[in-house]
Chains A and B, each alone.
Chain A
C-alpha cells in the first residue's frame, strides 16, 4: 500500500509531462519541416538583443525547424555528410569545402531564379569570382572575412624598442626572431602553410611539391620562436598579453580589439586569404522547397543584418551593408577597400596526395 503512494504521483507527473511535450511539439506547422546544419553561434539566436532568426522564420513561413544541429569545423560537417547517415535540407560550408562537396557530388544545384532576394548578394563574393563554385550554381554566400595579423603594439615596443608598426608590416613579422616565444600560429595545417606560401611569394593553392617542401622548411625554422599553435585559445592569449602577435581572421580581430585596446590590425603586404562561408543544399535533402525558402529568408536585407551584427563577420549582402551602423560600415577591418580584397586569394582544395603530404609535414614540424 505504501508503495502505491509513491507510484501514483510519479505516474501522474509522467503523464502531465508527456502531455506538455505533445502540446509543445504540436505547434501545427502547415508547410512541413526543415533540418539545418550550421556552425555553432552562426545564426542570430535572440541573445544579446538580437532577433531569433529561426523562430521568425517558423512564424513567417509556417515551417517547423525540426532540427538545428551545429558543428565546430567544416571538416566535421564534411565527415557527417560523407557518412551519409544524416538528412539535412540546408548546410553551411566554407569556400574550399564547397568545391570539395561539389567534386564529390554531395550537394545539389540551387535554382537561384526562385530566390527573390538573391540580387542582394554582392557579386564580389560569389563562387564564380573567387573560384569555389564556378557557375554560382551550388552556393549562396552568407558571410566573409579575411586573414590578417593582430599584434600588441604596446608590448612589442617595450620588448624590441622599435615602433610596433615598423616591426609588423607583413607575414615576415611572424618569423622575426626578435619576437621569440611571443608568436602564435594556427594549429591547422592549411592556414599555416598558406601563410608560409604567401611569405615565399607563391599562391595559396600551389600544387607544386617543391613549393610545399620549401614552405615546410620555413615553418620548421619558425617552430623555435612559436609560443603555441592555437585555434580559439588565441583569444585568451592575445587579450591577456601572454602572446604578442598572431595571425587571425578579421571578425576575430575585431572582437579581440574590443577587449584589449593595445591590439592592432595589420594587413600583410604580401597579400592574404579571403574566405566566404555559404549556404548549400545537400544531395539527399528531403524538403528542397523549404530549404529554398529558408535561403531566401537569409538573403533578405533585415535578416542578413541581424545575422551580420550577431556573428561579427562581414556580410556579402548589399542591402544589409547599407543598413549597418556607421562605425561598422566604415570599419576597415570588416569591410576593407577593394584594393585589399583584390590582394586576397580564396582557398581551393588541394589534391589528395598534397593534402596528405602537408598533413604529414605539419605533424613532423609540430613534434
Chain B
C-alpha cells in the first residue's frame, strides 16, 4: 500500500502531462478538419519522405560525433584520481547548459557567419573565408555541441560504476589495456552508451531551431516541418499531429531495437 502511495505523484504526473497529450496528438493525426476519421494525413506523409530521411541522417551523424567525442573523454575522466580536477571537469561540461539554448544557437550564428568571428580569426592567418553557416555541417556541429553533455553524463556514470576489481582481474590475467577496454569496459558501459545515444538522438531529431537558424532556411528538417503545420501560413494541426505521431513511432522502433541490443549485452556478461 505504501508503495502504491509513493508511486502516485509520478503516475498522476505521467497521466496528465505525458499520456494524455500523446493520446490527443495521436487522435488528431487520424482526424480531419470536420473531426471525422481519416487516413488521409498519414498517407500524405509519404510526400515528405526526403525530409524525414534527411532528418534521420543528420541526427545519426550528430549522435555519432557526440559519441566519438564523449566516450574517450568519459573514459579518461573516470580515471582521473584528483577529486577537485574531476569535479572541475564536470562543472565545465555542465556550464553551457546554464545558458538558454536559443542564446547558444544565436551565438553560433555570429561565430560562423560569413563576416563572423571564425572567419575574422582565419583572416589574420590569411586563410580565405570558409563557408560553414547555412550548410549541413553547421547544423550537425551545433547539434553535437548542444547535446554533448547529455552524452557524456550517462557514459561517465556507467564507466565510473565499473568495479575496479574486474579491471584488475583482467589485467592480472594478462589482458593489455586495449583488450581490457574492448572486452570489459566497453560491454559494461553499454547501458550508459545506449541511454546517452537515445537522449541525444531524440533531442537532435526534434530540434527545429538549430536547422532553422544555422541551415539558412534551406535545410528543412522534420521538427521545422511539424512546427510550420501549427504556426505557419497553412494551419493544419491534423497533418502536423500525423507527422508527429509517425515520427514518435519511428523513434520508438529505433529505441526498441537499441534496447534489445542492451539486454543481450548484459546477459552475456552475467553468463
Please report A residues at the B interface, Cβ cutoff 8 Å.
Answer: 73, 75-76, 78-79, 82, 181, 185, 187-190, 223, 226-230, 233, 236-237, 240-243, 355-356, 358-360, 363, 366-367
In the complex, A189 Cα to B217 Cα: how many Å? 12
Residues on B with beta carbons closer than 8 Å to the beta carbon of A78: 235
In the complex, A324 Cα to B136 Cα: how many Å? 47
Residues A356 and B216 in contact, CB atoms below 8 Å apart: no
Q: In the complex, given contacts A79-B237, A187-B212, A363-B225, what are 18 additional A-B residue pairs having Cβ atoms less than 8 angstroms apart?
A: A76-B231, A181-B131, A188-B233, A189-B233, A223-B218, A228-B133, A228-B218, A230-B216, A230-B217, A233-B109, A237-B113, A240-B115, A242-B115, A355-B233, A359-B228, A359-B234, A366-B217, A367-B50
Residue of B110, B116, B134, B219 with highest tally of chain A CB at under 10 A:
B134
Mask, B196-233, CB within 8 Å of A = 1, is: 00000000000000001100111110000100101111
Residues A226 and B218 in contact, CB atoms below 8 Å apart: yes
Residues A355 and B234 in contact, CB atoms below 8 Å apart: yes
State how many angstroms separate the Cβ of B246 from the closest Cβ of chain A: 16
A187 touches which of B47, B134, B217, B230 (Cβ 8 Å): B217
In the complex, A236 Cα to B233 Cα: how many Å? 25
State how many angstroms separate the Cβ of B219 from the closest Cβ of chain A: 8
Residues on B with beta carbons closer than 8 Å to the beta carbon of A73: 231
B232 touches which of A240, A242, A359, A367 (Cβ 8 Å): A359
State how many angstroms separate the Cβ of B65 from the closest Cβ of chain A: 23
In the complex, A243 Cα to B234 Cα: how many Å? 29
Mask, B105-141, CB within 8 Å of A = 1, is: 0000110011110000000000000010110000000
State how many angstroms separate the Cβ of A206 from the closest Cβ of chain B: 16
Residues on A with beta carbons closer than 8 Å to the beta carbon of B167: none
In the complex, A227 Cα to B134 Cα: how many Å? 7
Q: List 12 A-B contacts (CB under 8 A).
A: A76-B231, A223-B218, A228-B133, A229-B216, A229-B218, A230-B217, A233-B109, A233-B213, A359-B232, A366-B218, A367-B50, A367-B220
B231 touches which of A75, A230, A242 (Cβ 8 Å): A75
In the complex, A233 Cα to B209 Cα: how many Å? 12
Residues A190 and B109 in contact, CB atoms below 8 Å apart: no
B233 touches which of A75, A229, A240, A367 (Cβ 8 Å): A75
B220 touches which of A185, A242, A355, A366 (Cβ 8 Å): A366
**B51 contacts the other chain (CB 8 A):** yes
State how many angstroms separate the Cβ of A226 from the closest Cβ of chain B: 7
Residues B115 and A241 in contact, CB atoms below 8 Å apart: yes
Q: Which residues 217-271 of B have a CB within 8 angstroms of A?
A: 217-220, 225, 228, 230-237
List the 10 closest pairs (A to B, CB-CB), nearest first: A229-B217, A228-B216, A242-B114, A359-B234, A187-B217, A242-B115, A242-B113, A228-B134, A240-B115, A366-B218
State how many angstroms separate the Cβ of B177 from the closest Cβ of chain A: 47
In the complex, A366 Cα to B51 Cα: how many Å? 11
Closest to A350 in B: B233
State how many angstroms separate the Cβ of A233 from the closest Cβ of chain B: 6
Residues on B with beta carbons closer than 8 Å to the beta carbon of A356: 234, 236
In the complex, A356 Cα to B33 Cα: how many Å? 14
Residues on A with beta carbons closer than 8 Å to the beta carbon of B212: 187
Known: A228-B134, A363-B220, A367-B220. A82 touches B235 (CB 8 A): yes
State how many angstroms separate the Cβ of B238 from the closest Cβ of chain A: 12
State how many angstroms separate the Cβ of A198 from the closest Cβ of chain B: 18
Residues on A with beta carbons closer than 8 Å to the beta carbon of B220: 363, 366-367
B116 touches which of A226, A242, A366 (Cβ 8 Å): A242
Residues on A with beta carbons closer than 8 Å to the beta carbon of B235: 75, 78-79, 82
Residues on B with beta carbons closer than 8 Å to the beta carbon of A366: 217-218, 220
Residues on A with beta carbons closer than 8 Å to the beta carbon of B216: 227-230
Residues on B with beta carbons closer than 8 Å to the beta carbon of A237: 113
State how many angstroms separate the Cβ of B109 from the closest Cβ of chain A: 7
Closest to A226 in B: B218
In the complex, A78 Cα to B225 Cα: how many Å? 18
